[in-house]
Chain A
C-alpha cells in the first residue's frame, strides 16, 4: 500500500494524471503545494478523481494549510477530497507502507 503525493497543479502539469495511471488499489493520494489545485471542481482531473474514488475507493487527501494559503478552503472542492493537517500527513505516511512523491 503506497501513499502518493503530488505537488504540481493539474492545470499546467500532467503529473497527477501520470500518478493516477499507476496508482494501485488501496493506495491513497495526498495533494500538497500546487497539487491542491486538483481539488477544485474545475480541475482537469476532477472527473478522474471522482471516478477513482467511487469505483476503486481511492482515498484523496489535500493539505489544508496549502488549500488555505491559496484561497481554496472555502471554494467548491471535490466531494471526494478530504482536507488534512500536517499531523494527518505524518499519520498517513505511517499507515501506508511507503510514500511515492510525484514532483
Chain B
C-alpha cells in the first residue's frame, strides 16, 4: 500500500441476481484491488444475501457470486464487514456465510463510514 493510499469503502447493499448491482460491486472491488488503496468492503441490508452458502445458479444462467467472493482475500481485500442487524433481521449468522467477515453493529458501521475519504455505493 502506498503512503498516499486513500481510504475507500465499497458499500454493497443489493441481493444477488435480481439486479446486476451486486455483481457490479464485486467487479469494482476486484478491479480496485489493483490500485493499492486502503480498500474496505461492507455488506449491508440485502447485500448480506450475497454471502450466503449453498448458492447454485446452474438453473438460472447467472454467474455464481458466492463462488467468486471467497477469492477476495487472495486479492488482499481483508477488511470485509457485515452489518450485524442486517444479518439478525434475516435470521442469519456468520456461520451461514461463505467468507470470514467482521460483524459490526449499527454504531460501528457509522464509525466505519466516518473513517473513509470516499464511499463507492452499490
Q: Do any beta carbons of A and B sit within 8 angstroms of each other in the complex?
A: yes
Footprint of B on A, CB under 8 Å?
1-2, 14-15, 18, 21-25, 27, 97-103
Q: Can you name 27 A-B residue pairings with CB atoms under 8 Å?
A: A2-B114, A2-B116, A2-B119, A18-B44, A18-B45, A21-B85, A22-B44, A22-B83, A22-B106, A22-B109, A23-B110, A24-B107, A24-B114, A25-B110, A27-B113, A97-B114, A97-B117, A98-B9, A98-B117, A98-B119, A100-B113, A100-B119, A100-B121, A101-B121, A102-B13, A102-B121, A103-B121
Footprint of A on B, CB under 8 Å?
9, 11, 13, 44-45, 83, 85-86, 106-107, 109-111, 113-114, 116-119, 121
Main secondary structure of the interface of A (DSSP, over half): mixed
Contacts of A1 in B (CB 8 A): 114
Complex Cα–Cα for A100 and B109 (A) = 12
Given A100-B11, A103-B121, is A21 in contact with B113 using a C-beta cutoff of 8 Å? no
Known contacts A21-B83, A101-B121; 17 additional CB pairs below 8 A are: A2-B113, A2-B114, A2-B116, A15-B45, A18-B45, A22-B44, A22-B106, A22-B109, A22-B110, A22-B113, A24-B107, A24-B110, A24-B113, A25-B110, A97-B114, A98-B117, A98-B118
Complex Cα–Cα for A1 and B110 (A) = 9
Shortest B118–chain A CB gap in Å is: 6
Contacts of B119 in A (CB 8 A): 2, 98-100
